[in-house]
Structure 1
Amino acid sequence: MKGKFHTKHGFTMIEVMVVIVILGVLSAIGVPKIIGYTEKTKEKADLMKLYYLRDALNKAIIINGEALYNSSYLSSGDESTNQKNRDKLKGFLENESGVTLFVIEMKGGASMNVQASHGSANNTANMCELIGDAGTWYDALKEARFEGVADIVAYRKKTNNNTGIKNDVEKNGKSHSTFTVKEDGSNWRTYPNTPMFISSELNYGKAAGLDKITSQGNNKTNYRLTMSFQWTGAKESSHSIEVALLPNGAKMYNKSNGRGGAFLTDRGVCFSTYGDRGCADYKY
């Protein structure tokens, strides 16, 4: 009877190494694409919040043409002061840079920092006082799910500066119901307990390229964006509002060419309700 021979099949070390190399190459190509796609999806979700904010304001305007002036800031002073602030708001809404409601500081490796105002963040057009604790601007932020921003702005106005925050923390602690106060060297960061955005770039800033930032002078470690508003086309006759995240010194809408300089992510998402033209003049 003839014997039967069975050949055992397996992988040689060289074959295993080849497979590992191939998998490594595929991972190097595929994983970044998957991560990039996920981040871009998150950025688009973040962008939608600007549209929600715009729509909340526009709904208010439809109901009441004077809705944007519904703020305690524009009614709590004497008539002369109120009128001066109303005129100021009117001018900013028709300005190419719009009006600033609050500031977001971006710093690589650190959490977002929400501020009421800052000297290098479109400060001449800042009217954060409009938010208050009631009125159109407050309601719009709440409807668009920007929880905690109004409380941060009020806190920042009350404490005034880093020394003021330090003194308040020593007296009252860091705990707040809607936002967090966190020490950052000799500075302090304040951000909502419910995150405003979910994408990495709008929570921790750009991973690289800060050396290209030009609109904040010699500062190459962080940058600030302002939540800015403007009549569509910078014309009150439009009876509608646009929203954008603006770098310092940028225009929301250039009347000469219809372009803007709003924040553009590394993945090409434009944070302006004007659409892509709203970021056509982005400088970073």
Structure 2
Amino acid sequence: MRTKLMQKQKMSKRGFTLIEVMVVTIVMGILAGVAVPSIFGLVEKSREKVDLTKLFYLRDALNRALLESEDILYNNASVADATLEKALKSETGVDLFILEMRPDLPGNVQNRHSNINPGSEMSKLVGSSGVWYNALKEAGFTGVADILIARESGNAWKKDGETFYSQPYTDSRGKTDYRTYPKEQLFISRLLNRGKEAGPKQGQTNYRVRVSFQWSRMDEHSRSIEVALLPAGKKMWQKSGRGSALVSDHGVCFSTYGPAGCADYKY
């Protein structure tokens, strides 16, 4: 009896074999490979939703101003009233500014760009005061407002401002250019800081979206503004009843229209 008891005690103290350790290690590796990306995906999706919230802040700031006066958006001599009204009722909307991203450099706020909205003059709406300027500042886009003013004022954007940085860099042609971005971080998600990977046809790492505004559902009688991030060639809201704003790989649709604002929305 005593001999059997001693044998059992020895077996309980023998520990794990090498094969058992290897099996456990493999299982843990598989679990980590599944769980870790999922956790990071949830974190990134949460960041994207925070960024989306800023678009709602911007929309609400403009709509609160509209409660005071239906004509308040037009108080800017730099853009003709008829031009602004036509743009607000169009499928593409009003492109107030461009957000340019790439993995190796800070984000770049531009007033317009030939590759995404050639000929647009709508950044002039911001001016140095008025409803557009105030809405940007109220919604946490202060640096953006000042960048647009500087970019519309000669070479003022080629040096740091009170609320933004101007960083020189060498472009693909070997020339010096500048990237302007707010001192207070604009967005926190990876997508809106690094952008999506450029396809082989583009041959570039820059990724640009237009920050656009439109009368809700393009209704000429509407006096409610919507906001969206639009990639090149995309429309904010179409007569067919859907928009084609930026949608992330995690299913976040960057449009205040909600899921209907993104044609590629799959969730």
Superposition TM-score, scaled by structure 1 size: 0.82
Kindly tell me: are residues 90 and 196 of structure 1, through their superposed partners in 2, closer, same or farther at Cα, counting changes over 3 Å? same
Aligned to 2:220, which of 221, 225, 236? Answer: 236
8 Å contact kept, 2:112–2:120: no
Q: Does 1:226 align with 2:226?
A: no
Q: Does 1:109 align with 2:109?
A: no
Deviations 1:211-235 (A, max 9, x none): 17xxxx7454222111101111222
What is the distance in 1 between the residues matched to 2:80 and 2:245?
26
Kindly tell me: are residues 249 and 261 of structure 1, through their superposed partners in 2, closer, same or farther at Cα, counting changes over 3 Å? same
Alignment of 1:124-163 (within 5 A): 124-159=119-154
What is the distance in 2 between the residues matched to 1:244 and 1:123?
18
Q: Give the unaligned 5+ runs of structure 2.
A: 171-175
Aligned to 2:62, which of 57, 62, 65? Answer: 57
What is the distance in 2 between the residues matched to 1:92 and 1:228?
10
1:111 aligned partner, one-letter code: P
SS at match of 1:227: strand
Deviations 1:83-109 (A, max 9, x none): x62221111111111111111012233
Aligned to 2:118, which of 117, 120, 123? Answer: 123
Q: Does 1:211 align with 2:208?
A: no
Structure 1 residue 70 displacement after superposition? 2.9
Q: Give the unaligned 5+ runs of structure 1.
A: 75-81, 169-173
2:136 aligned partner, one-letter code: L
1:40 aligned partner, one-letter code: K
1:188 aligned partner, one-letter code: Y
Aligned to 1:178, which of 133, 149, 163? Answer: 163
Aligned to 2:235, which of 251, 256, 270? Answer: 251
Identity rate, percent: 48
What is the distance in 2 between the residues matched to 1:190 and 1:146?
13
8 Å contact kept, 1:98–1:125: no
What is the distance in 2 between the residues matched to 1:199 and 1:218?
23
2:31 counterpart residue number = 26
Q: Does 1:268 align with 2:251?
A: yes
What is the distance in 1 between the residues matched to 2:118 and 2:135?
22
RMSD: 2.2
Structure 1 residue 147 displacement after superposition? 2.3
What is the distance in 2 between the residues matched to 1:235 and 1:219?
39
1:193 counterpart residue number = 183
What is the distance in 1 between the residues matched to 2:18 and 2:103?
43
Kindly tell me: are residues 13 and 141 of structure 1, through their superposed partners in 2, closer, same or farther at Cα, counting changes over 3 Å? same
What is the distance in 1 between the residues matched to 2:29 and 2:105?
31
8 Å contact kept, 2:247–2:264: no
What is the distance in 1 between the residues matched to 2:169 and 2:37?
31
1:96 counterpart residue number = 91
Kindly tell me: are residues 153 and 29 of structure 1, through their superposed partners in 2, closer, same or farther at Cα, counting changes over 3 Å? same
How many correspondences in the alignment?
A: 254
1:78 counterpart residue number = none
